[in-house]
Amino acid sequence: MDPTTNRSIKTGALFRESGMSGGDASGELAHLMAGLERQKEELGPIAEELLELLHQVGVPETRPRGRINPSNG
């Protein structure tokens, strides 16, 4: 088994163990990735590192739909 496939399997197992829906893990990862893309500037280098890791486990790139400003509330 190649390393990418192995990482993808482990990622799916982590989502199942955490109680996230195993059937829609890729959708949840894509949603997380889109949020990271939108808030890269605020989150700094950790966002870049997380995005790189998500790409490595096979999550497709997403286009951010627009910037979400954090609430000041």
Domain ranges of the chain: 23-59
Per-residue model confidence as pLDDT tens digits over 10-47: 655 555 555 554 556 677 877 888 888 899 889 899 98
| Per-residue pLDDT at 7 | 58
Exposed e or buried b per residue across 54-63, where buried means at least 16 C-beta atoms within 10 angstroms of its C-beta: beebebeebe
How does DSSP classify residue 44? T
Give the whole-angstrom CA distance, residue 11 versus residue 56: 11
Neighbouring residues of 58: CB distance < 8 A, sequence distance ≥ 6: 4, 7, 8
User: Which of 20, 49, 10 lies closest to 33 in space, CA to CA?
Assistant: 49
| Per-residue pLDDT at 57 | 80
pTM: 0.46
